[in-house]
Structure 1
Amino acid sequence: MSLLQKLGVSAENLAPEITGKYIGKPISRVDGRAKVTGNAKYAAEFNIGTGILYGYVISSPIAKGKITAVNARQALSQKGVLNVFTHENVPGLAWFDRSYQDQDAPPGGSPFRPLQSDEILFSQQPIALVIAETFELARYASTLVHFEYEVKEELNVGLELNLYKAKKPKKHRFPVPKPRGDAEKALAGSVVKIEEAYYHGYEHHNPMEMFASTVIYGDDDRLTIYDKTQGVLNSQSYVKSVFGLSEDEARVISPFMGGGFGAGLRPQYQLYMAVLASLELKRSVKVVLTRQQMFSFGHRPATLQKISLGASAEGKLQAVINRCYSETSTFEEYTENVVNWSGQMYQCDNVMLDHKLVPLDLFTPLDMRAPGGVTGMYALEVAIDELAVKAGIDPLEFRLLNYAEKDQNLDKPFSSKELRECYRQGAERFGWNKRNPEAGATLEGNNLVGWGVATGCWEANQMPSRAKAMLSADGKLTVSSATADIGTGTYTVMTQVAAETLGVAMEDVLFKLGDSVLPMSPLQGGSWTMATVGSAVKLVCDQLKAKLFKMAKKVENSPFGNSKEEDVVFADRCISLKEDAQQYLTFTEIMRKSKVNYIEEDTTSLPNMLEQNEYSRFTHSAVFVEVKVDQDLGTVHVSRVVNAVAAGRIINTKTSRSQVLGGIVWGISMALHEDTVMDDNFGRFMNTNLAEYHVPVNADINDIDVIFVEEHDDIVNPLGVKGLGEIGIVGVAAAISNAVYHATGKRVRDLPIQLDKLL
């Protein structure tokens, strides 16, 4: 029996369920025209009023030490330079030495406070802000500010150089499961085993839009802050805490964001700088970071994983051990969910996991698309491939042989898991049954051809959120929530849900976001926005429906006098009987006869924790990759990718596909391109530009095929959706690594896979 027969592949592919007039359809972005015409404004593009000032941040050239002297006289003598803020003249602030209280998942420790001390904690630390009437003048004046330093000789950078300092975190954001069984004993008794180390270095987010804050100082001393952020309420909370302001005194707006990838989860230091200067000078101020300064705050942490796997001669997993070492700063303990995947993804009764932190003289790492997941799954999925090869079993068949029917970490069933179907559909589309099992045996011209597979997994969470909806008598619906759209399509999918739920045209719906005066929502991150804010939008529109129907029943000669809500249909701005569509009332008629101009609702959507906590909730994928490796030069090209994703209900097949495509491209980048190079002597990242920090370009990307596998889940949230922002990247780097091995017979265990590692 062939592998595809074992998988149960048929000639017919299952398509995701298309439900409703708008939900499930490939609808183009409602904000698309604004973006391509330039009408969509970003944080640095707001110039309200006259006389706005410009700030330029000065960064420290040393990584560890103290500032012993500051001389800003020459800069301040320049006409048009208003101030140079340093630790010597910044006033006392409202904050104390405490952890951020305005994040969903703050790291422990004492957060870095800009301009509050003469101490230098990391290279490129912001040490001054020059304020001038033009950006060019501020930048020039920054060259005239002179600092003297006391440099500390002991500098600890480089993860592998400092492993001896590794320690368990005081409080892990993602507690590591206790050992189950006896992994060491099971490993010793395994017929087939591997024990290897897997490494990837620092990665930086590098979205196209620089971090920027424009602070408009009002006549009433109130601030309107246009900030690049993944959560306006997070930025507002930060500003309130730091400067002792009220909500009315600090409004934060962020209607569009040119990429975040996690870099905008924490307020970045330009926000602090701009607000500080605005309050002190009582003027409007704009601060924009440079591309080089975009490398001066959080990054994906360098991580080393030592993985040992053992299996029986038949390929059954008997032991899993994953010891992880990742970097953090000296002033905070940043943790990720790196090792837990190793105890969850495959059936195994003997598992031991450990995660230690190595404090380095760098800024604190920061969540970066699929934080921990893309890291942990890379190492695990390459190790699984190695074990399968050693056992002489097809890598896909090996995964099926050790398929986990429940989450052993939590001892809970999955709310839904169509991973088998992901394997089946992905294998069929890719043509996996034609794979030659021998590594280095397939040649096409001068290229060695390799095929690899890996599994992807990411959390399917729902958070509390609020939404407000107002329906006017002309049938126009306005829905709002303080969530963000960081390029994922939030405007569009929320409009779809609102239009579908209430039965109006999408053209009649206006969805508002990115303003701190709007109803509460969490940060846009963790792939939870559709599940979270979408559920709130559905709930508030359902409540509008109930209110409207109650009014319709009271209308004189109403056709719904003895009907219940389940007896009617909301469509085309009308309510009609299911059994007799000719019996209807328009929304306008109902409100006119009820003598109201509009109706509105404001509601809070909460996850059903009693039900959800009974299950393990995840999105799954199967990634198949073809690579071509030049056998003379060692260059690697990804020629084909098939990614089959089971993510519950798909709201918009176009924007969803775009999210997965973007994740795949970044997975290719992680595997082959991205590498922030550290000078261990100076503690400085050396390639802080997009010429030397390599990311893929069009020529690096070829055929990408995305499959959405049908999956029904009524546990995860009322919409039955699972997030797609992060699942697209998970597993891609591992599949590429496995394909490179299949092409060349050479196993590379540290990313990125550069040509010198293959020659």
Structure 2
Amino acid sequence: MSNAIGKPLSRVDGRAKVTGEAKYAAEFNAPDLAYGYVVSGTIAKGKINHIDTRAAKSLPGVLEIFTYENRPKVAWFDLSYNDQDAPPGSPFRPLYDNKIKYSGQPIALVVADTFELARYAASLVEVTYDVEPHETGLDKHVDRGHKPSSGIASLLKPPPPKPQGDFDKVYHESPVKMRGTYVHAVEHHNPMEMFASTVVYEKNGKLTIYDKTQGVTNSKMYVTQVFGMSNDDVRVIAPYMGGGFGSGLRPQYQLFLAVMAARELKRSVRVVLTRQQMFSFGHRPATIQHIALSGTTDGTLNALYHDAHAETSRFEDYTEVVVNWGAMLYPVTNTKYDYKLVDLDTYTPLDMRAPGGVTGFSALEIAIDELAYNMKIDPLDFRLKNYSDRNTADDLPYSSKELKACFEQGAERFGWSNRPLEPRSMKKEHNLIGWGVATGMWDANQMFASAEAVLTVNGKLRVSSATADIGTGTYTIMTQIAAETLGMPVDDVIFKLGDTEMPFSLISGGSWTAASVGSAVKLVCQDLGKKLFKLAQQMPDSPLKKAKLEDIEFADSRIRLKSNPGAGVRYVDIVAANGGRAVTESSTSLPDLLEQRKYARNTHSAVFVEVMVDEDLGSVKVTRMVSAIAGGRVLNPKTARNQILGGMVWGLSKALEEETAMDNVYGRFMNHSLAEYHVAVNADIHDFDVIFVDEVDHIVNPLGAKGLGEIGIVGVPAAIANAIFHATGKRVRDLPITLDKLL
């Protein structure tokens, strides 16, 4: 066997990315390519009174200006459509009519021979509006919150658990308690690559679309349904993606506009959004949470209340799992939950790394810290005291839970035992020093996925699936899984993805890609191995002729006897005996739902943070962070560590810097650029350390891998907030914690 899994293999696509060989959606060219530029609306609610396109259209080289008045009729405007990540409601329809639903809404597409001309012509389009009153501030409208609509989305985003026990009575009678309100600002994804679609129009009307997406199958499904096209007439390709973080789970409006223009003009068209337009769709929603906890004098948590109000659009009910986590993690049997949405005149929020989880835990774990201090108990000791091997909310045992090992190993690495309990007890010159801890948790899901494996005439292995690599290392770990399963060197394995002509895979998100596509890759390679074994048995003088499947192993690019490793057949010889024809197999991996539903399946983390707070200025520096992760089998420690470090950096950014500011007078996001939307930079990052604790889990999926894309961020903001409290004695419940909140 090659034992490729578990090795710190460098990214197999790394060279292509650093040399510029990797091509992204806006870099694919076509003959006679036209360019589209989006005109964005400037009011939050109302109607378009008039669009004057005459000056723009008079410019030589301007091909067409599409508005609601002249857009072609498409199937979508009469029918609903399916989207793998769509919440309940009626999805936004670009250029549908003259109604304005949110500020920044696309209201026209200028198509010209060059990008520069299209951009200039767009500046000449004049629009007048009938303005209507709008509502964009969550805090001003919480009184009209409503229960979310139910739908298929609730399978992955379940509603809050039903109440247990008697929270009100137990909370009232408990000797130690806390209650707090936690506010969380809007955040935008801001991947480096802007959203783009290059639509290549073929002479027969077929389309090849290069789209920025986290799921080519989702984009294809969108196009075929919206435009009433057959599956054979649409191909979507996305081999590389310059960051997504959830923003590419749903098809964005540039895809619709580019396809519409290409079909109408019978010409290839590219539409790329600007950085400012990247703020005009999707975001992590503003959320206001209320938490109340109580316990006994011996440190036992006995009651938990958690409610949340979150924003959504007027046209869709976007939900997150925000309040469910407390009883999933802690053994508390007196609980009460509530979760409501407030419709605002904004675009629908969108899944953003650990949606709901990082929001809920940012409040919950600050509250846990508060209660521990009210009990005068070390926050880590409190968590260990209230440790549970069962998910109390669902009354299920965990398939595996090595969180206690995370606490122990993380605390030892960090030096937690030297921490004084009292706030403001550590100081260095004019800086206050604080240490904080928090727990993180995320789902360990497996979805169905398909893959194809081909052993080529030269003995190489080519494996493919229509999944995406959103920067997580999917190319690399799939190569490792295939190599190990068939006992081949990784250099002899090529993994392909991001093309709808490949076997079906769902969108890449939710930390399920490694588990889902990885299981499909393992299965198809096993099935291919069985086919190769049968062919090998039919070869003249085959040493495997009388062997059974359990007697053989796949190693050194050959099938050999376990009892006599020298006796075997090389893969290249099997292909040669097959008439020189490649050997192909396709397989679909399905989760074992009957078995999996007996268990709670989650990843866990323990995050330890040191901060330095300037006593005079209130500025915060995160000087050290240790994240201990229980994420099942680690397929590649190098790419896995990269994922966790990325989550730690983003968690710091979320805790201290990131917020999109809404001007409620105009209903418009003001800081819609990377100059004014603050994110963590190199100077903010200091001593970050990652620990992967050993965790064996044969229930989550055939690989035992749980997925690491999101667990890295979940506990970080709360750990930083708790460290700031330890440093300053000031409890800040509003994220981000900017220096004005500490002065």
What is the TM-score when the length of structure 1 is the normalising length? Answer: 0.96
Distance 2:63 2:35 in 1: 10
In structure 1, what is the Cα distance between the partners aligned to 2:442 and 2:668? 33
**Which of 49, 62, 84 in structure 2 is aligned with 1:81?**
62
Aligned pair 1:575/2:556, yes or no?
no
| 8 Å CA contact retained: 1:100, 1:106 | no
**Partner Cα distance (1:30, 1:337) in 2:** 35
Q: What residue number does 1:390 align with?
A: 374
Q: Distance in 2 between matches of 1:595 and 1:78?
A: 62
Give yes or no for the alignment of 1:251 onto 2:235: yes
Is residue 108 from structure 1 mapped to residue 88 from structure 2 by the alignment?
yes
CA distance in 2, matches of 1:391, 1:100: 53
1:678 aligned residue: 662
Contact 1:56–1:288 under 8 Å retained in 2: yes
Question: Sequence identity, in percent?
Answer: 61
Which of 134, 137, 160 pairs up with 1:155?
Answer: 134
- Counterpart in 1 of 2:14? 32
Cα drift, residue 558 of structure 1: 1.6
Q: Identify the match of residue 582 of structure 2 among 598, 606, 614.
A: 598
How far does the alpha carbon of each residue in 1:189-221 deviate from its partner, in whole angstroms, 9 at most, with x for none? Answer: 111100100111100000000000000111111
Q: Please state how far the C-alpha of 1:593 moved relative to its aligned partner.
A: 2.9
Taking structure 1 as reference, are residues 130 and 29 closer, same or farther at Cα in structure 2, changes over 3 Å only? Answer: same
Alignment of 1:206-217 (within 5 A): 206-217=190-201
Taking the TM superposition and a 5 Å limit, the aligned residue runs for 1:253-652 are: 253-652=237-636
| Shift of residue 561, structure 1, vs aligned partner | 2.4
The one-letter amino acid of 1:89's match is N
CA distance in 2, matches of 1:518, 1:169: 36
8 Å contact from structure 1 (residues 381, 734) kept in 2 = yes
Contact 1:98/1:111, CA 8 A, preserved across alignment: no
How well do the aligned residues superpose, as a CA RMSD in angstroms? 1.0
**Are the equivalent residues in 2 in contact too, given 1:174–1:335 (CA < 8 A)?**
no
**8 Å contact kept, 2:2–2:556:** no
Secondary structure at 1:274's aligned position in 2?
helix
Offset of residue 565 of structure 1: 2.1
Question: Are the equivalent residues in 2 in contact too, given 1:99–1:109 (CA < 8 A)?
Answer: no
- Give the structure 2 partner of residue 93 of structure 1: 74
Unaligned segments of structure 2, at least 5 residues: none
The CA deviation string for residues 134-182 of structure 1, in whole angstroms up to 9 with x for no partner, is: 1111111011111110000x21111111111111112154221100001
Q: Is the contact made by 2:10 and 2:638 (CA closer than 8 Å) also made in structure 1?
A: yes
Please say if 1:757 is aligned against 2:741.
Answer: yes
Structure 2 counterpart SS, 1:590: helix
Alignment check: 8 A CA contact 2:208 2:234 kept = yes
CA distance in 2, matches of 1:355, 1:98: 31
Who is 1:72 aligned against? 53
Q: Report if the CA contact (8 A) 1:256-1:485 is conserved.
A: yes
Name the CA distance, whole Å, in 2 between partners of 1:159 and 1:743.
Answer: 31
What code does the residue aligned with 2:636 have?
Answer: N
Which residue of the partner structure matches residue 167 of structure 1? 146
**Equivalent residue number for residue 15 of structure 1:** none
Q: Which residue of 2 aligns with 1:14?
A: none
User: What one-letter code is carried by the residue in structure 2 that aligns with 1:553?
Assistant: Q
Could you tell me how far 1:553 is from its partner in structure 2?
A: 1.8
Cα deviation for residue 100 of structure 1 reads 4.2
Which secondary structure does the structure 2 equivalent of 1:704 belong to?
strand
Aligned-pair CA distance for 1:686: 0.3
Contact 1:97 1:111 in 2 (8 A): no
Displacement of 1:101 in angstroms is 1.1
Tell me the distance in 2 between the aligned counterparts of 1:313 and 1:243. Answer: 64
Q: Give the residue type in structure 1 aligned to 2:220.
A: Q
| Residue 507 of structure 1, CA deviation | 1.0
Counterpart residue type for residue 219 of structure 2: S
* Residue number in structure 2 paired with 1:654: 638
What is the CA distance between 1:249 and its match in structure 2?
1.3
| 2:714 aligned counterpart, secondary structure | coil
Secondary structure at 2:56's aligned position in 1? Answer: helix
**How far does the alpha carbon of each residue in 1:346-403 deviate from its partner, in whole angstroms, 9 at most, with x for none?**
0111010110001111000000000000000110000000000110000001001111
Q: Structure 1, residues 411-459: CA drift from partner, whole Å, max 9, x if none?
A: 1111000000000100000000000111011001221100000001000
Could you list the per-position Cα deviations for residues 204-240 of structure 1 after superposition, in whole angstroms to 9, with x for gaps in the alignment? 0000000000001111111110000000010001011
Aligned length in residues: 738
Contact preservation (8 Å) 1:24, 1:650: yes
CA contact (8 A) 1:461 1:531 kept: yes
Which residue is 1:139 aligned to? 119
SS of equivalent to 2:232: coil
Q: Are the counterparts in 1 of residues 290 and 307 from structure 2 also a CA contact under 8 Å?
A: yes
Q: Tell me if structure 2 keeps the 8 A contact 1:231–1:483.
A: yes
Contact residue 278 and residue 285 of structure 1 kept, 8 A:
yes
Distance 1:97 1:316, change over 3 A: farther
- Paired letter, 2:724: V
**1:484-536 Cα distance to aligned partner (Å, 9 max, x none):** 00111111100000011011111111111000111000100000000000000
Q: Aligned residue for 1:46? A: 28
Say if 1:112 and 1:331, in contact at 8 Å, map to a contact too.
Answer: yes
CA distance in 1, matches of 2:313, 2:407: 40
User: Tell me, what secondary structure is at the counterpart of 1:109?
Assistant: coil
3-state SS of paired residue (2:711)? coil
Distance 1:610 1:45 in 2: 45
Q: What SS class does the counterpart of residue 333 from structure 1 fall into? A: coil
What letter corresponds to residue 34 of structure 2 in structure 1? Answer: L
Is this contact kept in 1: 2:609–2:626, CA < 8 A? yes
Secondary structure at the aligned position of 1:729 is classed as helix
> Hey, what's the Cα distance between the residues in 1 that align with 2:273 and 2:569?
55
Contact between 2:72 and 2:260, CA under 8 Å: does it hold in 1? no
Q: Does the Cα contact within 8 Å between 2:661 and 2:670 map onto a contact in 1?
A: yes
Which of 658, 664, 678 is 2:648 aligned to?
664
CA distance in 1, matches of 2:555, 2:573: 14
Could you say which residue in structure 2 is the equivalent of 1:119?
99
Q: Distance in 1 between matches of 2:94 and 2:255?
A: 11
Tell me the CA shift for residue 106 of structure 1.
Answer: 2.1
Question: Distance between the aligned counterparts of 1:639 and 1:99, measured in 2?
Answer: 51
